[in-house]
């Protein structure tokens, strides 16, 4: 029974659930973008180039058929998925994180450096405690 409890704790740990959700949503998102590439973008690009369908593009060499159109579709799909993830997820999340980072307020200095020995002295000191030189007042 202890083994099953440990396994249940493992499955319900946050990062495992997050990863499972990410994989499922990523697969669905990939299918949507692949359909977009195959059904809209590829025909648009192919119409400009004169060929109505990339997936049918191929060439034959020594009796072997090379279907490079399917590869072009896959590359376009990859580039579009990467661009969508970058512009729709990474950039907004980075902007949100940068906005939420709180910049520390500048602290009023309580010490300064002695011009003679470069040791830290109180800001209102008139003489350095280390080298006993006279220190000009702070303006």
pLDDT tens across 83-136, in order?
Answer: 877 888 889 988 988 888 877 777 778 899 999 999 999 988 999 989 999 998
113, two tokens: 């450096």
Please give the C-alpha separations between residue 125 and each of 55, 108, 119, 136, in angstroms, as whole numbers: 81, 16, 12, 9
Confidence of residue 47 (pLDDT cuts 50, 70, 90): confident
Position 39 scores a pLDDT of 79
Question: What percentage of residues in the chain have a pLDDT greater than 90?
Answer: 11
62, two tokens: 């020594």
Position 109 scores a pLDDT of 84
Domain locations along the chain: 2-100, 106-139
Average pLDDT over residues 8-37: 79
Confidence of residue 14 (pLDDT cuts 50, 70, 90): low
Return the number of other C-beta atoms located less than 10 Å from residue 116's C-beta: 13
Q: What sign does the CA torsion over 49, 51, 54, 59 have?
A: negative
**How many whole angstroms separate alpha carbon 88 and alpha carbon 94?**
11
**How many whole angstroms separate alpha carbon 39 and alpha carbon 58?**
19
42, two tokens: 């590829």
Please give the C-alpha separations between residue 91 and each of 31, 57, 133, in angstroms, as whole numbers: 22, 36, 55
Across 26-30, 48-52, 94-98, least confident range = 48-52
pLDDT at residue 52 greater than cutoff 70: no
The CATH number for 2-100, chosen from 3.20.20.70, 3.20.20.190, 3.90.1150.10, 1.10.1200.120, is 1.10.1200.120
């Amino acid at each position: 029974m202890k083994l099953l409890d440990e396994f249940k704790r493992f499955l319900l740990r946050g990062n495992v659930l997050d990863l499972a959700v990410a994989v499922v949503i990523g697969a669905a998102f990939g299918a949507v973008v692949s359909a977009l590439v195959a059904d809209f973008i590829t025909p648009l690009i192919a119409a400009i180039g004169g060929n109505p369908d990339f997936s049918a593009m191929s060439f034959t060499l020594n009796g072997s058929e090379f279907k490079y159109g399917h590869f072009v579709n896959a590359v376009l799909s990859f580039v579009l998925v990467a661009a969508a993830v970058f512009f729709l997820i990474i950039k907004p999340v980075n902007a949100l994180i940068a906005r939420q980072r709180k910049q520390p307020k500048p602290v009023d200095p309580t010490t300064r450096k002695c011009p003679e020995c470069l040791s830290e002295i109180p800001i209102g000191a008139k003489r350095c405690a280390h080298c006993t030189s006279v220190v000009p007042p702070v303006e």
